[in-house]
Every structure is written in C-alpha cells, then in structure tokens.
C-alpha cells in the first residue's frame, strides 16, 4: 500500500473517531469535548496538508494517481445478476489531494469558529459530534474510487446535513427545513442510484476506473441514449445535493441550521460534493447529457441571482448566492470547462465559507438579528469582520485580483467557447445568462455590504413586536442577555472566530492560485487539474448526419496540433479538442465582458444604495410584479406546493378513497358473502341436519315409549307374552299346514 493511501485512511477515520468520542462522552469531558473535535481536525488537516504538499508541490504531475482497493463483499455468481463483488477503495489524484486539504481546512476552521459561536448552547457537545460525522462522510466521498462507496458516503452527508439543519429542532421552521432538505435530496439520490444501476448492469463493477476502461473499449452494449440517461440520472444526485434547479428549494431553508454549519456544509463542502461527483463521472457524460447539464447550471445561476437581489435575511442572500455559484460550476462542467469548474469549486469554498462565517459573526454580534434592514453601520464596530467580509465579497463578485475573478472567468470563457463550437444561437443563452448573473452577483453583494456595514444603525427602526419574537425564536441561545439594544452590544468577535475569517479571506486572493491575476490557467491549480479525455466516442453518432469517425479525424488532429503548439493538453476526441481551443481563444473576451458586467453591477449597487440616485423602495414599487416575483423566490415553493405536494396529497386522498371503498369494499364484500353463506349453512345445519338427528331421536323416543309399556317388570306378564307368542306360532304354523 502506498504511504499516501495509509495517510489518507488515517485522515478519513480521524473525524469518525471524533464523532464516536463526542457522541458518547461529551458530557464527561471538560468544555463538552470541543477541544477533541478541534484537535482531531487539526491533526487531520496537518496530514492532509502533507498529502497536498507531496502530491501537488513535490510531485507536480497532472497525471498523478495512486489507487488501492480491497474486496469488501464477494457474493460470487448471483443468479439473475451475474458476478456480484463489491470493492471498496481509495484513489488519490491531484483533485483528491486538493479536496482533502480544502475539506479538512474548512472543517478545522469551522470547528474553531464554532467554539466561539456555539458557546453556551445546551447541545454544544452533540454539535461537534455531528460536525465530526459530517467531515468523515465528506472525506469518504472525496476519497472513494467507486460509485458504491460514494453512494454510501453521499447518503451519510445527507444524514449529517439533516441532523445539523435541524440542530435547533425545537423551532418548527428548523424541523421543517431539515425534512425539506432530506426529501429534496432523496429525489435526486433515487436518480443517482438508478444511474449507478444502469452502469452496473452493463459492466458488473462499481469502480470508476473499470467502468471507464470498459466504456473506452466500447463494451457498452446498449444504445447511446442509455448512456446519456445514465449520465443524467447520476447528475440527478448532483441536482439534489448541489441544489440545482429544480431541486434547489431546500438550500435556502437549510439556513435554519447554525451559521458555521451553513458555512461548512451548505456553502463550502457538501453542496460542492455534487459538482465533485459530476467531475468524477465527467468522462462518461455524453454531449447530450452535457448540454442538459450546461442549461440547468446556467438557468440555476441566473434564477438564484435574481432571487438573491431582494432577500432581506443576510443568510438567505448568501444561500441564493451559493445556489447561483453552484450553478456556475455545473454550467462549467456542462460546457466542458472541467478544470475551471473545479477551480471555482475550490475558490468559492473559501470565499463563501468566509462570507458565511462573517455573517455568523455579524449575527452573533447583533444578538441573532438576521434581517439586513435593521443592521447598518457595523463597519466601525467590527473592523476585522468588515475587512474580511469585503474581501470575500469582492472575490464572489469576481473583481480582478481575487480568486473568484480567475475561476469565474475561466468558466465564462469555456461557456463562450462552447457556444462557438456548438454554433447555434440558442447556445449563446448559456454565456449570456452567465454574464448577466455575474452582474447580478456584483449588485446583490454590493447591496449586502452597504446595508450591513455602511450608513447608520437601523436597529431602532425595527418594529418592537417583531424584535421580541425574533429573540424568543432562538430558545437555544438563552445564555445571551437580550435586554439591551443591539447597537450598544455590538463588538468585534473573539479571536477564535476572527482567525478563521482572516485565513479564509487570505485564501481568496489571486496569488494563492496563480501568479498572473488575469489568467488562472497559468496557476498551479489549472495545470494540475486537466480535463480528462472522454471515454464516450459518441460525438459523431450524436451528430449522426452520416459523418463517419474517419472523416472527422483530420480536423480533430489539426485542432489537437494547434492546441499542442500552445503547450496545451491534447485530446483524441475532436469535440473536446475544439472546446479546449475555442475556450482558450475566448479567454480575453470573457475577461473584458465580465469585468464590465461586474463594474456595472457594483456601479448600479452604488447608484441605488450609496448615492441614492435611484430610490430602491420607489423602484420596487414601480416594478412591483418583478420585485414580488424575486422576493417570493420565483414562487417555486408555491408552485411545488400547488403541484407536487398538493398532487401527492390528492393522490394519497385518492388512494385512501380507493383503499376505503374498493379494497375495503372487496374485503367487506367477501366478508358479507362469507357471512351469508355461513348463515345459510347454519340454517341448513340447524333445520335439516339437526332436524334429521332430532327426528331420529324423536322416532326412537316414541317407539321406546310405546315399547316400554310392554315391559312391566312383572313376571306374570312375561309369561303371558311367552304363551301368546307360542300360541301365535302354533296358530301360524298350523294355518300354514292346513292351507
């Protein structure tokens, strides 16, 4: 076994150890054992950092890969299924090494931050235990080398997400939110499982490497439509977990969980697991499937951005921003900008975690006030939070010199290249939506910064009864003294909450990833993570207009040579080669357009909120239908309420009726028939059978009564009878003789 594999197993199991210790013994440990969680995660991060150092810095090889697996379950040849062997294994490549370091780092920072944020909570120990099980499952997803174990860990992160969203389960809204998240994820996971089964039915293996080898060898016996279906079904898992349209509805509600949890699970890691999973299965996705993925990503990015504009809850803005950014990543994968999408995954994880932890610091300082309308002026009270939050905001908006700028532009360049390759007007919707979302992102983040940090405190503007209900809703935080006004109590948070903010903000600057702030492709990340060559030789058949593979080949080689002249990755697949070429060509176009869009968005935010040239309230009145449409989140919840939930209720009512009247009717009818037959039987028994028996008894009785009279018991009667018989005999006999 490779030493890196051994180390990664240790990293995987450490958070599980933390979970086991804390779930059973937290009440016996001083400080409820929070130091156990932080310490273990610190160790895990140290080992992960070593793995990262070895793989990325020392080896520095885009094709680096070590793998190890063992047979977990061997059922032999199962009738009707074929050979059924389930292997578990670990694969470490560049992506795994980066994800490992990212997940453990953010988890460590969130642990540290939570020691401040969650202090005084009555379930403090349990909280750290849940963080442990979550980190364990997330690392499991990252390290898995096969679909089966990824599915197991996939469900485990779903469980830990469920537990942590509903951490304040005394609140109805939190309990509802956790149910909603679990059910929405369930829909996606069913699809994912079906996709896994399609692949398994073909190859009898769950292992990624074996599936791809088989696919590349052309062993997929069914039509390409099935492969597209398998890809899209697997993508459904990502739709659920990464909150893509149409299953995005759970993520904003998941903000009912503690804010550090929102940072760890619902911004940085778990929701990115969907994107990570699509990246893992990227090579088996057919162009058709990728088109669907690209459109879903673009639509999600745009829709969530429009919703984020009007939300008033500080965490909800960030939640919709997360949905929007995840849409970007999915879009990136859909258009084939593989490394750009994963680059955005990592940069987004850091700056969005920073934003969430920053909002947590604000909420903490404001005594659990989450509504931005009653904030304002926090810049003076919380300089550290303000600085880090602003830096992360700039990264999210995608301003030059930040990490978000590089990754987002790489995705948008890929989108332009994609539209050029596809050549159809409808495909330009994707980059257009992408650029428009970039502007909206800049706008809503500018609004947030302004509402929260600038101006004067608006705490006193808050309606009094609203104020009280907000306080009492947080029954879990009784430790805080709620009597004084927020602006009196606002102060910078303690060091253990400040340090994570600073580290995460530092990781949002460009030089961490690339020496050239304008081009992420020159950085180590995009050099280490290269788009893998597709194993689906399907472009020709997908286009299907009589082009043979041979005809396409020369142009493909030409494109490949062209790319290799520039020191780029070469692809055997003509479509991938062309995509790589065009997106590279579109790089500067993307930079110009997106910079203009971002500046436009920030300017607009400044015009509306800083200089008040346009009054936001009046504008909202003027375009009231649009404003309400955005404020009510495109009415998705209402639409689902009216269709799926009402539909399910209606269906269950119908089934109830069916059960009541048809099934029960059949049962009752059968009972009625049986009852009547039994009644008839009873009558027959009573009157005919019993009648016969009684009649026999009656006849015997009557005969006996008659005959009894003959038996007087007197000897002389018997003598008379004897004589009578003898006499009768003689009479009979002699009568016979005479005649």
Partner 1 sequence: MEHLVPIGLNHYLTISAFLLGFGLFAVMTRKNAIVVLMGVELILNAANINFLAFSKYNGGMGGVMFSLFVIVIAAAEAAIALAIVINIFKIFKSVDVSSIDTLKE
Nearer to partner 1, 649 or 719 (CB): 719
Tell me the closest approach of the beta carbon of residue 731 to partner 1, in angstroms: 17
Residue 135 CA neighbour count, 13 Å, CB half = 40
Tell me the closest approach of the beta carbon of residue 680 to partner 1, in angstroms: 46
Binding mask 196-235 for partner 1 (x = CB under 8 A): ----------------------------------------
Tell me the closest approach of the beta carbon of residue 725 to partner 1, in angstroms: 14
SS3 state at 544: coil
Tell me the closest approach of the beta carbon of residue 688 to partner 1, in angstroms: 37
Residue carrying the six token digits 């076994």: 1
Tokens of 259: 């804010």
Nearer to partner 1, 484 or 708 (CB): 708
Tell me the closest approach of the beta carbon of residue 697 to partner 1, in angstroms: 22
Tell me the closest approach of the beta carbon of residue 705 to partner 1, in angstroms: 14
Q: Do the beta carbons of residue 347 and residue 508 sit within 8 Å?
A: yes
The whole-angstrom separation of Cα 236 and Cα 382 is: 42
Cα 642 to chain center, whole Å?
23
Tell me the closest approach of the beta carbon of residue 730 to partner 1, in angstroms: 14
Binding mask 687-726 for partner 1 (x = CB under 8 A): ------------------------xxxxxx-xxx--x---
The whole-angstrom separation of Cα 489 and Cα 365 is: 7
Nearer to partner 1, 548 or 716 (CB): 716
Tell me the closest approach of the beta carbon of residue 675 to partner 1, in angstroms: 50
Tell me the sheet residues that pair with 17: none
Tell me the sheet residues that pair with 207: 146
SS3 state at 445: helix
Nearer to partner 1, 699 or 711 (CB): 711
Tokens of 588: 């500067």
Nearer to partner 1, 707 or 737 (CB): 707
Give the orientation angle of helix 94-117 with respect to helix 124-143, to 10 degrees: 170
Where in 595-614 is the site for partner 1 (CB under 8 A)? none
Q: What is the 3-state secondary structure (H, E, C) of 622-657?
A: HCHHHHHHHHCHHHHHHHHHHHHHHHHHHHHHHHHH
The whole-angstrom separation of Cα 262 and Cα 343 is: 21
Please choose, from the candidates 345, 371, 367, 351, the residue with its C-alpha nearest in 3D space to the C-alpha of residue 255. Answer: 371
Tell me the closest approach of the beta carbon of residue 699 to partner 1, in angstroms: 22
- Residue 547: how many CB atoms within 10 A of its CB? 12
Nearer to partner 1, 223 or 712 (CB): 712
Nearer to partner 1, 663 or 724 (CB): 724
Nearer to partner 1, 77 or 716 (CB): 716
Nearer to partner 1, 491 or 708 (CB): 708
Please choose, from the candidates 243, 264, 245, the residue with its C-alpha nearest in 3D space to the C-alpha of residue 253. Answer: 243
Tell me the closest approach of the beta carbon of residue 717 to partner 1, in angstroms: 9
Nearer to partner 1, 572 or 719 (CB): 719
Q: Do the beta carbons of residue 404 and residue 396 sit within 8 Å?
A: yes
Tell me the closest approach of the beta carbon of residue 723 to partner 1, in angstroms: 7
Tell me the sheet residues that pair with 146: 207
CA-to-CA separations, 425 to 132, 298, 583, in angstroms, rounded: 48, 15, 17
Q: Do the beta carbons of residue 384 and residue 502 sit within 8 Å?
A: yes
The whole-angstrom separation of Cα 221 and Cα 234 is: 19
The whole-angstrom separation of Cα 703 and Cα 710 is: 11
Tell me the closest approach of the beta carbon of residue 703 to partner 1, in angstroms: 17
Nearer to partner 1, 643 or 711 (CB): 711
Tell me the closest approach of the beta carbon of residue 712 to partner 1, in angstroms: 6
> Does the protein bind partner 1 through residue 77 (CB under 8 A)?
no
Q: Do the beta carbons of residue 95 and residue 279 sit within 8 Å?
A: yes
Nearer to partner 1, 401 or 726 (CB): 726
Tell me the closest approach of the beta carbon of residue 714 to partner 1, in angstroms: 5
The whole-angstrom separation of Cα 572 and Cα 559 is: 10
Nearer to partner 1, 173 or 711 (CB): 711
The whole-angstrom separation of Cα 573 and Cα 514 is: 28
The whole-angstrom separation of Cα 711 and Cα 719 is: 12
Beta strand 82-93 with 65-78 is: antiparallel
How many residues belong to the site for partner 1 (CB under 8 A)?
10
Binding mask 115-134 for partner 1 (x = CB under 8 A): --------------------
Tell me the closest approach of the beta carbon of residue 707 to partner 1, in angstroms: 12
The whole-angstrom separation of Cα 122 and Cα 275 is: 35
DSSP 654-715: HHHHIIIIIIHHHHHHHHHHHHHHHHHHHHIIIIIIHHHHHHHHHHHHHHHHHHHTT--S-H
Nearer to partner 1, 3 or 712 (CB): 712
Helices vs. strands in the chain: H and E counts, helices first: 33, 2
Tell me the closest approach of the beta carbon of residue 734 to partner 1, in angstroms: 16
Q: Do the beta carbons of residue 373 and residue 458 sit within 8 Å?
A: yes
Nearer to partner 1, 484 or 714 (CB): 714
Burial of 165 (0-12, 13-18, 19+ CB in 10 A): buried
Nearer to partner 1, 678 or 719 (CB): 719
Tell me the closest approach of the beta carbon of residue 700 to partner 1, in angstroms: 19
The whole-angstrom separation of Cα 255 and Cα 244 is: 16
Q: Do the beta carbons of residue 69 and residue 207 sit within 8 Å?
A: yes
The whole-angstrom separation of Cα 178 and Cα 165 is: 5
E-state strands within 554-709: none
Tell me the closest approach of the beta carbon of residue 694 to partner 1, in angstroms: 27
Q: How many residues does the chain have?
A: 739
Continuous H helices in 166-283: 172-203, 208-216, 224-241, 250-253, 259-263, 270-280
Nearer to partner 1, 625 or 713 (CB): 713
Cα 696 to chain center, whole Å?
82
Nearer to partner 1, 644 or 727 (CB): 727
Residues of this chain that interact with partner 1 (CB under 8 A) are 711-716, 718-720, 723
């Amino acid at each position: 076994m490779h030493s890196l594999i051994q180390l990664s197993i240790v990293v995987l199991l450490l958070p599980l150890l933390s979970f086991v210790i804390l779930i059973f013994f937290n009440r016996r440990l001083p400080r409820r054992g929070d130091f156990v969680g932080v310490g273990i995660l610190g160790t895990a991060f140290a080992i992960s950092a070593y793995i990262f150092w070895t793989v990325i810095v020392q080896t520095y090889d885009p094709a680096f890969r070590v793998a190890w697996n063992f047979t977990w379950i061997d059922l032999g040849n199962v009738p009707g299924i074929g050979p059924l062997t389930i292997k578990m294994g670990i694969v470490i490549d560049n992506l795994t090494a980066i994800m490992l370091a990212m997940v453990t780092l953010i988890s460590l920072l969130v642990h540290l931050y939570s020691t401040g944020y969650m202090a005084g909570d009555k379930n403090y120990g349990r909280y750290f235990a849940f963080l442990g099980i979550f980190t364990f499952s997330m690392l499991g997803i990252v390290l898995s080398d096969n679909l089966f174990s990824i599915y197991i860990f996939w469900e485990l992160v779903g469980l830990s997400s469920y537990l942590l969203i509903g951490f304040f389960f005394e609140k109805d809204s939190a309990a509802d939110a956790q149910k909603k998240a679990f059910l929405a994820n369930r829909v996606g996971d069913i699809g994912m499982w079906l996709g896994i089964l399609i692949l398994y039915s073909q190859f009898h293996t769950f292992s990624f490497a074996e599936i791809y080898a088989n696919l590349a060898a052309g062993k997929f016996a069914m039509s390409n439509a099935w492969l597209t279906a398998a890809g899209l079904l697997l993508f459904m898992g990502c739709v659920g977990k990464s909150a893509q349209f149409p299953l995005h509805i759970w993520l904003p509600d998941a903000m009912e969980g503690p804010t550090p949890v929102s940072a760890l699970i619902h911004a940085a890691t778990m929701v990115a697991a969907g994107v990570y999973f699509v990246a893992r299965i990227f090579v088996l996705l057919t162009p058709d499937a990728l088109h669907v993925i690209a459109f879903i990503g673009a639509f999600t990015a745009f829709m969530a951005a429009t919703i984020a504009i009007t939300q008033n809850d500080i965490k909800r803005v960030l939640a919709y921003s997360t949905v929007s950014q995840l849409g970007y990543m999915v879009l990136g994968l859909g258009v084939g900008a593989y490394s750009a999408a994963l680059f955005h995954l990592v940069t987004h994880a850091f700056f969005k975690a920073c934003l969430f932890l920053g909002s947590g610091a604000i909420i903490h300082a404001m005594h659990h006030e989450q509504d931005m309308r009653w904030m304002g002026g926090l810049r003076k009270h919380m300089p550290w939070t303000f600085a880090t939050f602003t830096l992360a905001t700039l990264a999210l908006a995608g301003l030059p010199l930040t990490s978000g700028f590089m990754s987002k532009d790489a995705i948008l360049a890929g989108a332009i290249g994609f539209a050029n390759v596809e050549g159809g007007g409808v495909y330009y919707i994707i980059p257009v939506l992408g650029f428009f979302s970039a502007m909206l992102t800049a706008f809503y983040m500018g609004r947030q910064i302004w509402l929260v940090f600038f101006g004067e405190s608006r705490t006193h503007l808050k309606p009094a009864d609203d104020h009280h209900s907000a306080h009492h809703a947080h029954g879990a935080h009784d430790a805080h003294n709620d009597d004084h006004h927020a602006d009196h109590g606002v102060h910078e948070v303690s060091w253990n909450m400040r340090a994570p903010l600073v580290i995460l903000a530092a990781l949002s600057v460009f030089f961490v990833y690339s020496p050239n702030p304008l081009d992420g492709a020159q950085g180590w990340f995009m050099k280490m993570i290269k788009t893998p060559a597709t194993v689906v030789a399907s472009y020709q058949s997908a286009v299907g207009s009589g082009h043979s593979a041979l005809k396409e080949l020369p142009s493909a080689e030409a494109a490949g040579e062209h790319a290799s002249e520039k020191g780029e990755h070469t692809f055997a697949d003509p479509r991938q080669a062309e995509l790589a070429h065009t997106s590279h060509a579109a790089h500067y176009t993307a930079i110009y357009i997106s910079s203009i869009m971002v500046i436009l968005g920030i300017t607009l935010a400044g015009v509306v909120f800083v200089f008040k040239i346009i009054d936001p309230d009046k504008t909202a009145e003027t375009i009231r239908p649009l404003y309400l449409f955005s404020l009510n989140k495109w009415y998705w919840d209402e639409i689902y309420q009216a269709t799926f939930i009402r539909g399910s209720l209606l269906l269950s009512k119908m089934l109830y009726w069916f059960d009541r009247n048809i099934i029960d009717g059949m049962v009752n009818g059968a009972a009625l028939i049986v009852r009547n037959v039994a009644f008839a039987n009873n009558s027959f028994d009573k009157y005919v059978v019993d009648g016969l028996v009684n009649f026999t008894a009656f006849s015997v009785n009557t005969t006996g009564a008659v005959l009894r009279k003959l038996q007087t018991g007197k000897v002389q009667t018997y003598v008379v009878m004897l004589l009578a018989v003898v006499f009768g005999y003689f009479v009979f006999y002699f009568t016979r003789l005479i005649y």
